[in-house]
Amino acid sequence: MRGDAIAAAFAVEIRERYGDVARDRWPVSVDPRPDELLSSWINRLALANGIAPRSFSGVLGCGDGMWSPRLDLQLPGHIAAFLGDRSGVPQDAISAMALTGWALTPLLLPRRENTRRQRSTWMQYCPQCFAQDETPYFRRQWRLASRISCFVHGCGLRDRCPACRSGIVSYDQGQLVPQHFCARCGFDLRGAPKATVKAAVRRLEHVIADIFTVESAKRLAEASDVILRVQRAPAAADIGSARTLANLSTTARIRCFGELAAKPLDWLVTDKDAAVAHRRWMIAAAGGHDRFIACFANFLDKHQARPRSTCPTRPSAELADLLAAYIWGENKNFSRRHA
């Protein structure tokens, strides 16, 4: 009787529940940052909870090699659910950080661990973004071959550690060290030298990004056409490389865009559909200014305007004035409506 009483006294339910809670939730919760890539958030989550990323692969049952970049491309449902349960971050927010189903997937830099000269690595970064981040993290946009500069700081992106020339291998970090330190040599990537990209080259990059934004929001067929054109940019630039854009290092892509910035934009904007070509010219003429593009996408939708000629017309000097006049008119209408 006495033994049973002791057993009953030790069967304290509160203690069991406490154990379950500690097992189910990791102690430190980490919120995703704007445009953060899934593998970056996983690294931060692991480190915040005292586990090095390489060991964290075992916690998720993901195996060796580029385990978290694999999750970026394909996040199994059971891992998304497990991460959601343990981190307290909603599962849809976790899935949204993966790259699955992204219209620009064909332009992702290939997953590749070796870093042979002139060849792409799988990830880029901006040293200045890292320097300003409260907790440095990798952006989804940095995975795209069509991105060569930081839209915030205007400097060139980097795809290697300047000290040891390794690519980014934060998934293989065996120490409790934040991901802005090179996992091979420990160099602080915030201190990487600034890469300069000329204004005309950055302007071309913005135009391409804006054409993607407009076309991927509308018709997929057009988006895939322009994606194909950008993939073939090295041939259009005539830089003596048979590789597609995604196979070139960031330095080689900056050079490629530099050649293209000095050429007419036919390689990018011509299309058998004159209306599509016309819209691309307009975006190019607007210089990738978001506001101009938003107004004109809206204008074209409202008026279904199509040029009479079947040949795409080039933007004239007057086009910028025309755009400005249209926006001025729209602003006036808006003011009247809201007076």
Answer yes or no whether residue 96 interacts with Zn ion by CB under 5 A: no
Q: Is 251 in the site for Zn ion (CB under 5 A)?
A: no
Closest separation between CB of residue 182 and Zn ion, Å?
A: 3
Please state the closest distance from residue 129 (CB atom) to Zn ion, in A. Answer: 3
The answer to whether residue 164 forms part of the interface with Zn ion (CB under 5 A) is: yes
218 in contact with Zn ion (CB under 5 A): no
Are 161 and 181 a contacting pair, CB within 8 Å? no
**Considering only residues 60, 75, 99, 126, which one is a binding residue for Zn ion as defined by CB under 5 A?**
126
Q: Helix 199-216 vs helix 290-303: angle between axes, to the nearest 10 degrees? A: 30
Count residues near Zn ion (CB under 5 A): 14
Of 12 and 152, the one with the shorter C-beta distance to Zn ion is: 152
Residues 6+ apart with CB under 8 A from 133: 33, 180
**248 by DSSP, 3-state: which?**
strand
Exactly one of 59, 73, 163, 209 binds Zn ion (CB under 5 A); which one?
A: 163
User: What is the Cα gyration radius of the chain?
Assistant: 25
Answer for which of 49, 95, 128, 251 binds Zn ion (CB under 5 A) is: 128
> Shortest gap between Cβ of 197 and Zn ion (angstroms)?
12
Q: Which helix (H) or strand (E) holds 208?
A: helix 199-216
The piece of 140-148, 155-163, 226-234, 252-260 that touches Zn ion (CB under 5 A) is 155-163
| Binding residue (CB under 5 A) for Zn ion from 75, 150, 192, 236 | 150
The distance of closest approach from Cβ of residue 286 to Zn ion in the complex, given in angstroms and rounded to an integer, is 23
CA angle 222, 227, 232 (to 5 degrees): 130
Which among 232, 284, 229, 292 has a CA at the least distance from the CA of 261?
284
Shortest distance (Å) from residue 235 CB to Zn ion: 30
Instruction: Work out whether 168 is an interface residue with Zn ion (CB under 5 A).
Output: no
CA distances from 156 to 33, 119, 123, 288, 315 (A): 22, 17, 13, 18, 29
Contacting positions for Zn ion (CB under 5 A)? 126, 128-129, 150, 152-153, 161, 163-164, 166, 182, 184-185, 187
